[in-house]
Amino acid sequence: MENVNVAEIGSTEKTTGSYAHRLSSPMPFLWTMLLFLVIVGFIAAILFRQTQTAFMHNPGLNGLILGVLAVGIILVFNHVLALRPEVRWFNSFRAAGSADKVNRNPRLLAPMRALIGGRKSSVALSTTALRSILDSIATRLDESRDVSRYLIGLLVFLGLLGTFWGLIGTIGSISTVIQSLDASSNGTGDVLSALKEGLSTPLSGMGQAFSSSLLGLSGSLILGFLDLQAGRAQNRFYMELENWLSSVTDVGSDLAPALDAVAGSSSDDMRALSEYLRKVSEEGGVGNQRSVAAMASLAEGIQGLVKNMRNEQQMLRDWIEAQQDEAKAMRRTLDRLAERIGLQERGGERTERHRERASHTEKSEGK
């Protein structure tokens, strides 16, 4: 029996619209990040004296905060710049028509490169391959931003750490100042000078607390905006890649291995398969007969139930009609009774009038 390559069944070679598909460059997001840093640097230059004063309150911790911010900025820029070689490789792959014709190998798109191999760019991918490629790329993109997200939280933590550190020193210094005051001294000038000297340390602690908090929160704000732009660049890269992969996905290609196996079988295998299918159909015929008998008995039961319901409905109608007849007879009886009562009342009124007339006549005759 001749073998047939059924992997070609349903292969969807795309038109020129698919060949024209190119991934967008991430450079617009990079320029946005650079412009944001320029604006931040301009604001810092305007407030240089205040920033320098705040930094010198706690140069150690504040320097650590600025160092973490610098590391985070470098990492976020690296996330965006890492997309450039991937975009160039994909566009070169689309232009060359084969992954083997591209000299460099991608890092982020390595799963796609491994699955495509030396096939042409117009090859139809299966849904399983599509899902595998997209899941792998999404995982790599998400993992690449874990460090930057951690650094954003670390900046907030360092700012709060400096705040509590400065407040602890402030509270201790105020306690020392209060204990050092001598109320029994004769001159108030000595007390004020001692108070002035003692308050310098608590005020320094307050400056240390608020300067660290200011730098930590500002650093987290700056790094958060840059990470947001990097996320937007990665999301656009992922969506454009997903759109192209969806356009070259062949839904029916998942059935190709099974169809190839059937088409490549020998005549004996096909005969055994047909015999097995015949037995299955015979067993299914017996099962169908049983199902038909069960359905017939079920239909008879339903028919009997319908008859009983009809009989009960007829009995209910008869009972309602009997009740209506009784109500009519009772209404007629009540009407007759009302008429008799009316006649009796009218007869009583007549009798009363006759009596009144008779009594009036007797009185007139007596006079």
User: What is the predicted pLDDT for the residue at 298?
Assistant: 75
User: What is the predicted pLDDT for the residue at 268?
Assistant: 64
Query: What is the greatest pairwise CA distance in the chain?
Result: 154
Q: Which amino acid is at 356?
A: E
pLDDT tens by residue, the chain, 367 residues:
334 333 333 333 344 444 456 788 889 999 999 999 999 999 999 988 888 887 887 888 889 999 999 999 999 999 999 888 888 888 877 776 665 556 677 777 777 777 766 555 555 666 777 787 888 888 888 888 889 999 999 999 998 888 888 777 777 666 666 666 665 655 566 656 666 666 666 666 676 778 888 889 999 999 999 999 999 999 998 888 888 877 776 655 554 555 455 555 555 666 676 676 667 666 656 556 666 677 777 777 777 787 888 888 888 888 888 888 888 888 888 888 878 887 877 777 778 787 777 777 777 766 5
Angle between helices 27-46 and 59-81 (to 10 degrees): 160
C-alpha–C-alpha distance, residues 157 and 342, integer Å: 102
User: What is the predicted pLDDT for the residue at 253?
Assistant: 52
Planar angle of CA 122, 8, 118, nearest 5 degrees: 45
C-alpha–C-alpha distance, residues 174 and 187, integer Å: 22
Report DSSP state, residue 107: S
C-alpha–C-alpha distance, residues 249 and 10, integer Å: 10
Calculate the alpha carbon distances from 46 to 2, 50, 139, 334 in Å. 82, 9, 42, 107
Report DSSP state, residue 34: H
Report yes or no: 259 and 9 within 8 Å, Cβ to Cβ.
yes
Calculate the alpha carbon distances from 210 to 61, 76, 165, 224 in Å. 12, 27, 10, 21
User: What is the predicted pLDDT for the residue at 7?
Assistant: 36
